[in-house]
Structure 1
Amino acid sequence: MDSFRGEFVSTELAMFRAIKAYKKAYALNFIKKGKAYFKTKKEVREFIKESFRGEDLFSGGDGTPYIEGVIICVDKDGDLRNKFIVNENGVYKRLDSIDEDRVYEFLFKNQHRIGKINLMSVEKKEIESEVKKDCEVLPQKADERIIQIMNKITKVIK
């Protein structure tokens, strides 16, 4: 009897996880085609809390409420956390209700950003903007500046 119950529970759990994964893949595929899948902000909130539990949700920059380099994730309890800030307990900072509402509002309006993570480092972004600025101001010295910045990058990588 116990083996049957254990088998039943694990089969039910596997089926539940498979259905959840299918719903997530279906919604993200629908959004990827450029269509709006969710009709309300509440639907976005429920989908994210159910489907992205323990995963990264989106990264900052490009019109988001956060700067580039910030990653917002969903913890095991379904709360949103900012991976850019670590509190005194060594845990990522939990977003307050105002920030959570701002995130859900942004994701409702920009559904294509759900699940999109840009892992480009902030330092790399700063170096790219520095090169662009230097190339615009002094085109004749651009090659020298690029060599200096490339040396700086190789030092960071080492």
Structure 2
Amino acid sequence: MNETKKKATFLAELLEVPMATAMVFAEMIADIPYARILEFGRFIVEGYEPKKSKMLVVKESVVNYRRLAREHAIKSGSMLFESREEMIRWVEKHYRGKELVSGPKPYKKFVVIGVGEDGRLVNRYALDDFGRFKPLDHESAMAVYAWLFANQHRIGSVEHIAAKELPMMEAKALAGNGAAVKIDKRVARMIGGAYARVDKI
């Protein structure tokens, strides 16, 4: 039995679809070796929803699998982007609606940058007047992409910092010497005014 047929058999059983449909799905994952089929199957199971079509589940699973495989290759240094434009195209395709990175320059460590549904970078720590993530202007987006191109290993690296940790982080960064420090009013507002002042860090 050839590899495509083996993949199709696996997908037919997993998705409970006719063999002809499974063969179409198997062609979609021609670049994924049969040895990794169980790993890919986990993406299908995780993405499955009762009202979602099986074709859509497979398509989303392929995109997510390839994104994570590329992230792993980038982090290991075996497959870096050769141009910023190539990286931007890849990010826009694979990170649409997802978080991309936290703390890229010129933003603070706790700021998470994502990609909006329209492909533009958004600040997932700031909302516009309609309660949507605020898009970055062209200059800010290019600054983030320039930083990301120089730090490709950070693509997909997102660290969530709890709001209660922010005042302490801000104060330590400002004080350094244990002096009393006043937290920036904007930061206090953004975290719901949890702490307006931190004394003697």
| Greater shift in the superposed pair: 123-132 or 37-46 | 123-132
TM-score by length of 2: 0.55
Deviations 1:89-131 (A, max 9, x none): 2222111222221111111111011111122242231244467
- What's 2:137 paired with? 96
**1:1-158 alignment, distance < 5 Å:** 10-35=53-78, 37-60=80-103, 64-120=105-161, 121-129=165-173, 132-134=176-178
Question: What is the percentage of aligned positions where both structures have the same residue?
Answer: 28
Task: State the alpha-carbon separation in 1 of the partners of residues 137 and 173 from structure 2.
Answer: 32
Deviations 1:33-61 (A, max 9, x none): 13452111111111111111111111126
User: Which has more helix, going by share of residues?
Assistant: 1
Q: 1:19 Cα deviation (Å)? A: 2.3
Give the alignment's Cα RMSD to 1 decimal: 3.0
**Contact kept in structure 2, 1:68 and 1:122, CA below 8 Å:** no
**Contact kept in structure 1, 2:70 and 2:79, CA below 8 Å:** no
Greater RCO (Cα-Cα under 8 Å, separation 6 or more): 1
Change (3 A) 1:79 1:130: closer
Task: State the alpha-carbon separation in 2 of the partners of residues 89 and 51 from structure 1.
Answer: 26
Change (3 A) 1:105 1:129: closer
Gaps of 5+ in 2: 1-17, 26-52, 180-198
Task: State the alpha-carbon separation in 1 of the partners of residues 131 and 121 from structure 2.
Answer: 16
- What's 2:29 paired with? none
Gaps of 5+ in 1: 136-147, 151-158
- What's 2:43 paired with? none
Alignment length (residue pairs): 133
**Contact kept in structure 2, 1:36 and 1:111, CA below 8 Å:** no
Change (3 A) 1:94 1:129: closer
Task: State the alpha-carbon separation in 2 of the partners of residues 65 and 35 from structure 1.
Answer: 27
TM-score by length of 1: 0.68
